[in-house]
Amino acid sequence: MTKSRVHVLWSLCAMAVLFLSAVSGCAPAAAPAPTTAAEKPAVPTAARAVTPTGPAAPAPTPKPALDTPRYGGIIIRAVNRDVASFDVHREQAGDASLTLFNIYEGLVRLHPLEHQKIERELAEKWDISSDGKAYTFKLHQDVKWHDGKPLTTEDVKHNLERMHNPQAFKTLAPRGQGLLTAVDKVETAGADTVKVLLKYPSASFLFNIATGWIAIQPKHILDARGDMRRDAVGTGPFKLKEKIPEVSLELQKNASYHNKGLPYLDGIKFYTIKDDATRFSAFRTAKVQMTFSGSKSMTASQGELVKRDMADKAIVHEVDGLTRYAITFNTKRKPWDDVRVRRAVDLAFDRQAAIKVNGRGYVGSIYPRPWGMQPAEVARLAGYRQPKEADMAEAKRLLSEAGLARGFETTIMSASGGTLQSIGEITKDGLAKIGIDVTINLMDITAINERADRGAFDMFSAGWTDTTGDPDETLFTYYITGGSRNRGEFSNKEIDALIDQQARTLDVKGRQVILAEIEKKVLEMAPSVITYWDIWQIGAWKEVRNFKPGPGIHPWGKLDQVWLAK
């Protein structure tokens, strides 16, 4: 069966589920033994309404070993920065999920090995109404917070409302807010039941809430402190043991974990190693057993070295990161309120140079593959194509038309080192050729996020990592007016209406037509420059068993079913 036919079948099955009543048996039963990729999904995932074409995603990584799991041991991972906050709703750095997703849980989650499968977590089972607008979740009865207090339906209700409507709770817009756009209200029914009512049947809702950002945090601590920045209290398989700032963070096994028999590990220890070469050396010499996720996890050359010299000891997992590196414009500041100026920068940026400098990736549009235009098609677009002469000439013409023929001075915020700094440098070089003088302000990523949230920037470079890969997340997070990570404050009523329309469209082909129209209009308006899409390499020593990364970081950040062979 071809890849495109598989995706279409998944989409059709998922849409059919929305119109089934009494599907409480859809959640697979928990089991202490590790699940394997050989099992069949018990329920289709949310719809992925697309027929993909073009180049395939990276080849799947080897299936995990299926020998008998063992208890005990501590996995050591190298990360490139500290977790800035324990509040999973506020934390912006994608790699923080490696810690936070082991502490917190959601109602449901993506299967750690079969990444298109949804399984239960805090919810023991769930039902979907016949009209697809009501989801009823029955909670496990034996779940306790790490501080010993019991999980309640009020915890769940409070968290979903906090994420869906942060203004009412006087909190910053959470990373996962765009995943809850379809939600109308949340109700409790008795001591163990939560009902989520939607504004419209949503093909992506169940898939969206299965991601780790839609986690439940203790209401009693949120009420007392207002957030979880300093308090790591969840219901997950691991709990905080110790954090030494800028050195390490250690999690220990939750002996009272409600999913009996799990986790296998005694703990996970993360060492903060900021220097790329030092971090890789620690992996190569077995001082750490796993790298982290993201562009700085392992470079292309480092991955080749492991494959060549360490094939008997370690595995390199290659996956789509669901990460696009982008330059965001502050559309509320001049001259970035002028689409002609934004388009000029979009034309001048050399995407192929960015991929060459960073070693891997592909030229893509606003959606992750297999959605939208495929890389071969995108590579023919103005601004994305080679050679650059025609694009540079058009960029100069647009600046002249905007009254900026002599150019202007501006700044770009960029993280120091690695991919984002190189993107800042490529931006500076490209814009110099069309008369724009760019100053690069190198900052810590936390400082960039803080200033971006306040709108205190001209441009900034960042990596946008999707949690689901479904266009709903991209559109409701980055492009709709008021989106939780629409930091450039881009707003277009026509695009807003189309985003809402596609979210309500359950027909596969119909939704695809609307998504293509949105893609075209967003590219024309250029609220940001999509530089390129990343492909990640994650290293793991072979004693790490039952680990299988999928697209992005989110299905496999939690290590409750991972075990050590020695």
DSSP 19-78: T-S--GGGSPPP-SSPP-TTSPPSS--S-------SSPPPPPPPPPP-S------EEEEE
- May I ask the CATH class of domain 3-28+45-59+79-233? alpha beta
- Calculated CA dihedral for residues 192, 198, 203, 209, nearest 10 degrees: -40
DSSP state of 337: T
Where b means 16+ CB within 10 Å and e means fewer, 228-249 reads: beebbbbbbbbbbeebeeeebb
**145, two tokens:** 């917070």
17 φ, ψ (degrees, to nearest 5) = -60, -35
Where b means 16+ CB within 10 Å and e means fewer, 203-225 reads: bbbbbbbbbbbbbbbbbbbbeee
Classified by CATH at the fold level, domain 321-534 comes out as Dipeptide-binding Protein; domain 3 (3.10.105)
Q: How far, in Å, CA of 441 to CA of 459, rounded?
A: 10
User: What pLDDT shows up at residue 66?
Assistant: 53
The torsion region of residue 560 among left (phi > 0), alpha (psi -120 to 50) and beta comes to: alpha
User: What pLDDT shows up at residue 439?
Assistant: 98
Q: How far, in Å, CA of 480 to CA of 255, rounded?
A: 43
User: What pLDDT shows up at residue 257?
Assistant: 97
The pLDDT tens digits along the chain (566 residues) read 443 333 333 343 444 434 333 333 343 334 444 443 333 333 333 333 333 333 344 444 555 445 799 999 999 999 988 888 999 988 767 678 889 999 999 999 988 888 778 999 999 999 999 999 999 999 999 999 999 999 999 999 999 999 888 776 666 556 667 788 899 999 999 999 999 999 999 988 998 899 888 999 999 999 999 899 999 999 999 999 999 999 999 999 999 999 999 999 999 999 999 888 999 999 999 999 999 876 668 888 899 999 999 999 999 998 888 889 999 999 999 999 999 999 999 999 999 999 998 878 899 999 988 888 988 899 999 999 999 999 999 999 999 999 999 999 999 999 987 788 999 999 999 999 999 999 999 998 889 989 999 999 999 999 888 877 889 889 998 999 998 889 999 999 999 999 999 999 988 899 999 999 999 999 999 999 999 998 888 999 999 999 988 776 565 678 999 999 98
Beta bridge partners of 472: none
Cβ atoms of 476 and 503 closer than 8 Å: yes
Strand 459-465 relative to strand 314-329, pairing: antiparallel
User: What pLDDT shows up at residue 135?
Assistant: 98
Q: Which positions ≥6 away from 38 have C-beta within 8 Å?
A: none
Residue spans of the domains in the chain: they are 3-28+45-59+79-233, 321-534
Q: How far, in Å, CA of 174 to CA of 183, rounded?
A: 15
Q: Which positions ≥6 away from 215 have C-beta within 8 Å?
A: 88, 89, 100, 101, 104, 105, 106, 159, 234
- Alpha carbon separation from 116 to 45, 46, 103, 375, 476 (Å, rounded): 6, 9, 22, 23, 21
Among candidate residues 335, 337, 459, the one with its CA nearest the CA of residue 404 = 335
User: What pLDDT shows up at residue 175?
Assistant: 63
Within this chain, domains 3-28+45-59+79-233 and 321-534 share the same CATH topology: no
460 φ, ψ (degrees, to nearest 5) = -150, 150
User: What pLDDT shows up at residue 298?
Assistant: 85
SS3 track for 176-232: CHHHHCCEEEEEEECCCEEEEEECCCCCCHHHHHCCCCCCECCHHHHHHHCCCCCCC
User: What pLDDT shows up at residue 16?
Assistant: 40
User: What pLDDT shows up at residue 295?
Assistant: 65
Where b means 16+ CB within 10 Å and e means fewer, 143-173 reads: bebbeeeebbbebbbbbbbbbbebeebebbb
User: What pLDDT shows up at residue 470?
Assistant: 86
Strand 459-465 relative to strand 408-415, pairing: parallel
Q: Is 80 exposed, middle or buried (0-12, 13-18, 19+ CB in 10 A)?
A: buried
